[in-house]
Amino acid sequence: MTRKYPLDKKESLKKNLSVIIPVMLEDFLALSDIVLNYPLRKNILHEMRKRGKPLRYAMEIGEYCFSKNFKQYLDEIKEVLELMGEIHDADVMIPEINLHIKEIRLFNRTIDDPKQRLSTKHLREIVIYMKNQRRGNYSLLCEKIKYISSENFLENLQNSFNKVKD
């Protein structure tokens, strides 16, 4: 689904961005309750990440229009999206590695000599490491989403629109 944002062609870029960015932020945070409460709903996390990318791009354009304070809010959004990317990568890689482990085990069943069988120890260690890393990144992501979801964040972001670039 493509979202249409309320642009006014007669207004300046700065004015349009100050209208669009809060709407984009609202779209981005619409799925935050599900992401915070259901950590294994990977599709929702990915959908939220897809909604956050246009927000990031709009904010990167706005970095040149708004005050220096605006950059810290942009950095927060960038950090959240990077964490989401790392979590998504782990969500994709863990099942792939598990599939390889399963194939190696099936292959090992065909070999009679135990010394010639392939070891899956390192792959299992990688899966455990990635699961632990995902868990840690997910808890950090939840903290950042809660911060961004706060009214204080949106209010300060909107205040940075009104200030003149220093």
| pLDDT tens digits, 33-75 | 888 888 888 889 999 999 899 889 988 888 887 877 888 888 8
Inter-residue contact 137 to 87 (CB < 8 Å): yes
The candidate with the shortest Cα–Cα distance to 94, out of 137, 37, 49, 140, is 137
As a whole number, the mean pLDDT across the chain is 86
Inter-residue contact 46 to 87 (CB < 8 Å): no
Q: What's 113's DSSP letter?
A: -
Q: Given pLDDT bands bounded at 50, 70 and 90, which one contains residue 163?
A: low
According to the model, what pLDDT value does residue 164 have?
Answer: 52
Q: Given pLDDT bands bounded at 50, 70 and 90, which one contains residue 152?
A: confident
Count Cβ atoms below 10 Å from residue 60 Cβ, excluding itself. 13
User: Tokens 């959004």 map to which residue?
Assistant: 77
Counting every residue written for the chain, the total comes to 166
User: Is the pLDDT assigned to residue 161 strictly greater than 80?
Assistant: no
According to the model, what pLDDT value does residue 166 have?
Answer: 44
Q: Please give the single-letter amino acid code of residue 59.
A: M
The candidate with the shortest Cα–Cα distance to 162, out of 62, 25, 52, is 62
CA distances from 41 to 24, 52, 85, 165, 166 (A): 22, 17, 15, 41, 43
65: tokens are 């229009």
